[in-house]
Amino acid sequence: MRKVFQVIVLMSAACLAYAQMPGSTPFSADMAMNMKDGKAMNGKIYVGGGKMRQEFNAEGHEMIQIIDLQRKVSDMLMPQQKMYMEMAYGQMGQQRRGFKLPDLKSFDPTNPCAQSEDMTCEKVGTETVNGRSTEKWLFKNKKTGDTNTVWIDKKIMYAIRTQSKDMQMDLTNVKEGMPDASLFQIPPGYRKFDMGGMMGGQMPQMPSKDE
């Protein structure tokens, strides 16, 4: 369970490091991440009104993340336990180093790597990917030389496909339009616990499904 929470915290840090680009189109989509080692993660993403919701399954545990991109706050919901964690951007920023999963963020389509000081990017073509018209960009890390290929949908300003040496992530079944506002709210009956203990290495005692 601790490993699952570590993955979630790192994913939150990456997402909150970037603000949603103004003028992007609200949307929802299915997302799938396939690792070269055979592991996979599937879920959904909802974006609109300066907020993002991600739903995914990590090691058999259902997780829901609600991000307020303007307030730079993330709430991680655990449906089995009816609990949630609230994390501020300042807390999670310390966890980014070594994070290898792709950033789920919006891009400036005229300069996609503008927000990434360690990256250069080059447009290498246009392609239709997963039914969406995209521009294909090659990202290169200035320090390591590692490259990622990213197919960016200019309308929703998110990557429809991201490929690296370790993984491929796809957004499919993209539906434009503002998601229901309730998706960005914590459901009634959820209990909150303090993230301080987990950041300090002390995992809170999780209730069993029968409690």
Give the model confidence (pLDDT) of 190-204 as tens digits: 999 765 555 454 444
Please provide the size of the chain in residues.
211
Whether residue 204 lies inside any domain: the answer is no
Q: Is residue 205 part of a domain?
A: no
Q: Using CA atoms, how far apart are residues 41 and 1, in angstroms rounded to an integer?
A: 16
Instruction: Provide the domain count of the chain.
Output: 1
116 falls within a domain: yes
Task: Assess whether pLDDT exceeds 80 at residue 16.
Answer: no
Average pLDDT, the chain: 77
List all residues 6 or more positions away from 140 whose beta carbon is below 8 Å from its beta carbon: 119, 120, 121, 122, 146, 147
Burial class (CB in 10 A: 0-12, 13-18, 19+), 182: exposed
The pTM (predicted TM-score) of the whole model is 0.76
Residue 209 in any domain: the answer is: no
Domain span at residue 68?
A: 2-199
Task: Say what the pLDDT of residue 188 is.
Answer: 93
Encoded amino acid at 201, one letter: G
Residue pLDDT, tens place only, 99-130: 333 446 678 777 888 877 888 999 999 999 99
> Does residue 83 form part of some domain?
yes
Q: Using only C-alpha atoms, what is the Rg of the chain?
A: 17
On the question of pLDDT at 66 being above 70, the answer is yes
177 is a domain residue: yes
206 within some domain: no
- Residue 101 phi/psi, 5-degree rounding, is -75, 155
Please check whether residue 61 lies inside any domain of the structure.
yes
pLDDT at residue 11, rounded to an integer: 46
Q: Report pLDDT for 35.
A: 85
178: CATH: 2.50.20.10
Locate 140 and state its tokens: 């290169």
